[in-house]
A and B are shown apart, each in its own frame.
Chain A
Amino acid sequence: MAHAYWEMCNWEYRNLRMFLPMLTSVLVLQGAGLVLGIGLFFHHIPPSAALYVATGVPVLNLLTLGLIFEPQIVADRRAEGSYEFLRSMPVPRSMMMLAWYTVSLVPSLPALVLSLVVAVARYHLHLAVSPAIIPAIVATSLTGTLLGYALAHGIPSPMVTRLASTTLIFILFGFSPIMFPASQLPAWLVSANRWLPFGSMATIIRSALVHGLATPAGAGRAYVTVCAWGALAALVSARVVRHRR
């Protein structure tokens, strides 16, 4: 298993390496760009809004590769026919997923750190980074990757996969309480987001970066929600990657 994991990490890294500098740059620009760009909506951005933006953008950094790009990469492979080459390799499916997850962190983490640095510098924020940031990053990125994996391998049509991942972008940016408080959403969206993972991902990241924005009970509930979605996505992923027509 360890051998398979290591060699698949090797494979995924080499597969991405031509694009890694560009991917990292895109994620950095996305993170820093969002932090700075949203501030332009306001004449003077309220400090609380700045805090939500600053602590929400890292969630997007962590989700972009696993949840958005992976389905598109898999859709491209299906369209060009190389998907089956990889599926026929003698590697446990779980190791393939873990290897992808490991490699996708490479560009995501620098982007996360840089977006926080930009936010602190731009909006004069004070963040209190706690050790809980590590499990928060792991839970968020792993659940995002598993969701992306389930989407990528569960939808046979490349076109539908691309449309689904594009739709997710709108859901993440506009309808999930990642960069703004849930109280700013309509009531029905607040209820929906109580069960969806994205708002909870923002809560656990935020609670590890800032004191007082989430209660321990709230953070605890958020962890349960994120982990439950992770487990569900893992089950669905395991089923879809093993499925044979």
Chain B
Amino acid sequence: MLGLRGRGKSRSEAFADTQHAGTAHGVEDWVFRAENVTKVYRNGVRANDGISLHVDPGEVYGLLGPNGAGKTTLVKQAVGLLKPTSGTITLGPYDLIESPAAARQLCSYLPQAQPPIESFSVHEAIQLCGRIRGGRTSVVKRRADELIEALDIGEWRDTRGIRLSGGVKRLVGFAMVTVCPGRVVILDEPTNDVDPLRRRLLWNQIRELGNRGVAVFLVTHNVLEAEKSVDRLAIISGGRLVAEGTPSSMKSEDRGNLRLQLMLVPGCDTPEMPAFCHHATRVGNNVVAVVNENDAAHAIGWAVEQIGEGTAEEYALGATSLEDAYIRLTGEAPGDDGTE
């Protein structure tokens, strides 16, 4: 039937491999590797174009990019929902493309959409998922209780999914896939709809997964939060991997630069940007640009002038962030709070 085959491993051995996620069991290299992955849909859209990356055990790896960049396509291929046109995706000794059953066993996946838990109470959904993934009942129950407390959703422990808000459902979905995690936990926009306080708790749990040796591969639009929480990240644009590295290395090109943010008066057009402002992008009523440190005084003078003319309400000048690198690499601004 559906075997977890990987270079001669039996199904029971492969299942056992998932149970030792986070430990030093065995000497296999449990790195998640995507090598030259290309996905061309039937309509000719080249969603992924020669993407190569790897995620080490215990690493929290972020995948950023604009809408339609190919992020979700890439992760779906890792869990056996899509098949690459070419390239390989492996996890330890397992070829996840050749064995989608192994992919589902070894990888826990939280899709972008909400989990189907209308009829389930919160603790039921989490525990059942844990048992489906092969966890022992007592262990799963304990772990479910820990997650409910850690994510501060105890108030809704016995509430059916149909009565939950989108944000709480998202947290429950996260708990469902991490109560008994595989070797890799793949999260697609895990913080969507989650309030700022619980978002912090969620990021703590993501970090905790990494500390336990689980490789976490997460797709997010929330560049600022990703900057604080991921070990490494990749930026995908137009199906291609355009940059990869630690948040610090991504920002290295912006060393010596500052970030100028001008908050425009609602309804005002974007003012003509002076020559010392680079990569200017408008997001809502904010214009963000990069200026060299040596031009800081000119930038402040210009911003004050805009305020005096009634074009802007206020300005801010500070260190560049990962968001500026993102804008530089993709030419687009990420959404704020996970929205576009």
Chain A residues near B (Cβ < 8 Å): 1, 3-4, 7-8, 10-11, 14-19, 77, 80-82, 84-94, 242, 244-245
Nearest CB of B to A208, in Å:
32
B200 within 8 A of A: no
Closest A residue by C-beta to B116: A82
User: Is the pair A88, B83 in contact by a Cβ cutoff of 8 Å?
Assistant: no
Taken together as a complex, chains A and B put the C-alpha atoms of A86 and B119 apart, in Å, by 15
User: Is the pair B115, A82 in contact by a Cβ cutoff of 8 Å?
Assistant: yes
Nearest CB of A to B48, in Å:
13
Known: A7-B131, A11-B132, A14-B124. Is A84-B81 also a contact (CB below 8 A)? Answer: yes
Closest A residue by C-beta to B188: A84
A81 partner residues in chain B, CB cutoff 8 A: 111-114
Which secondary structure dominates chain B's binding surface?
A: loop
B110 partner residues in chain A, CB cutoff 8 A: 85
User: Is the pair B80, A244 in contact by a Cβ cutoff of 8 Å?
Assistant: yes
B100 partner residues in chain A, CB cutoff 8 A: 242, 244
User: Is the pair B132, A244 in contact by a Cβ cutoff of 8 Å?
Assistant: no
Closest B residue by C-beta to A245: B82
User: Is the pair B113, A90 in contact by a Cβ cutoff of 8 Å?
Assistant: no
Taken together as a complex, chains A and B put the C-alpha atoms of A70 and B56 apart, in Å, by 41
A15 contacts which of B101, B104, B107, B119 (Cβ < 8 Å)? B119
Closest B residue by C-beta to A94: B1
Q: How large is the interface on B (under 10, 10 to 19, 20 to 34, 35 or more residues)?
A: 35 or more
B279 within 8 A of A: no
Q: Could you list 6 examples of A-B contacts with CB < 8 Å?
A: A14-B120, A18-B118, A82-B115, A88-B107, A92-B101, A244-B81
Nearest CB of A to B173, in Å:
8
A92 contacts which of B1, B118, B128 (Cβ < 8 Å)? B1
User: Is the pair A7, B81 in contact by a Cβ cutoff of 8 Å?
Assistant: no
Closest A residue by C-beta to B121: A14
User: Is the pair A14, B128 in contact by a Cβ cutoff of 8 Å?
Assistant: yes
A18 partner residues in chain B, CB cutoff 8 A: 118-119, 160, 162
Interface string of B1-35 (1 = CB under 8 A from A): 11000000000000000000000000000000000
Nearest CB of B to A34, in Å:
29
Interface string of B114-154 (1 = CB under 8 A from A): 11101110001000110111100000000000000000000
Known: A14-B124, A18-B160, A88-B79. Is A245-B41 also a contact (CB below 8 A)? Answer: yes
B129 partner residues in chain A, CB cutoff 8 A: 89
Nearest CB of B to A136, in Å:
28
B105 within 8 A of A: yes
User: Is the pair B104, A88 in contact by a Cβ cutoff of 8 Å?
Assistant: yes
Taken together as a complex, chains A and B put the C-alpha atoms of A84 and B112 apart, in Å, by 9
Taken together as a complex, chains A and B put the C-alpha atoms of A244 and B85 apart, in Å, by 11
User: Is the pair A91, B132 in contact by a Cβ cutoff of 8 Å?
Assistant: yes
User: Is the pair B132, A4 in contact by a Cβ cutoff of 8 Å?
Assistant: yes
Nearest CB of B to A47, in Å:
44
Chain B residues near A (Cβ < 8 Å): 1-2, 41-42, 76, 79-83, 100-101, 104-105, 107, 109-116, 118-120, 124, 128-129, 131-134, 160, 162, 173, 182
Nearest CB of B to A169, in Å:
25
User: Is the pair A84, B2 in contact by a Cβ cutoff of 8 Å?
Assistant: no
A242 partner residues in chain B, CB cutoff 8 A: 100
Taken together as a complex, chains A and B put the C-alpha atoms of A176 and B79 apart, in Å, by 42
Closest B residue by C-beta to A3: B134
User: Is the pair A7, B132 in contact by a Cβ cutoff of 8 Å?
Assistant: yes
Taken together as a complex, chains A and B put the C-alpha atoms of A244 and B97 apart, in Å, by 10
User: Is the pair B83, A89 in contact by a Cβ cutoff of 8 Å?
Assistant: no
Nearest CB of B to A12, in Å:
10
A93 partner residues in chain B, CB cutoff 8 A: 2
Taken together as a complex, chains A and B put the C-alpha atoms of A244 and B124 apart, in Å, by 30
Taken together as a complex, chains A and B put the C-alpha atoms of A84 and B131 apart, in Å, by 19
Closest B residue by C-beta to A244: B83
Taken together as a complex, chains A and B put the C-alpha atoms of A35 and B83 apart, in Å, by 49
User: Is the pair B105, A90 in contact by a Cβ cutoff of 8 Å?
Assistant: yes
A84 contacts which of B41, B113, B119 (Cβ < 8 Å)? B113
A82 partner residues in chain B, CB cutoff 8 A: 113-116
Nearest CB of B to A10, in Å:
6
B80 partner residues in chain A, CB cutoff 8 A: 88, 244
A11 partner residues in chain B, CB cutoff 8 A: 128, 132
B101 partner residues in chain A, CB cutoff 8 A: 90, 92
Taken together as a complex, chains A and B put the C-alpha atoms of A159 and B262 apart, in Å, by 47
A8 partner residues in chain B, CB cutoff 8 A: 132
User: Is the pair A90, B132 in contact by a Cβ cutoff of 8 Å?
Assistant: yes
Taken together as a complex, chains A and B put the C-alpha atoms of A88 and B107 apart, in Å, by 9
Beyond A84-B81, A85-B113, 20 additional pairs, beta carbon < 8 A: A11-B132, A18-B119, A77-B116, A80-B113, A81-B111, A82-B116, A85-B109, A85-B110, A85-B115, A88-B81, A88-B104, A88-B111, A89-B129, A90-B132, A90-B133, A91-B104, A242-B100, A244-B81, A245-B42, A245-B82
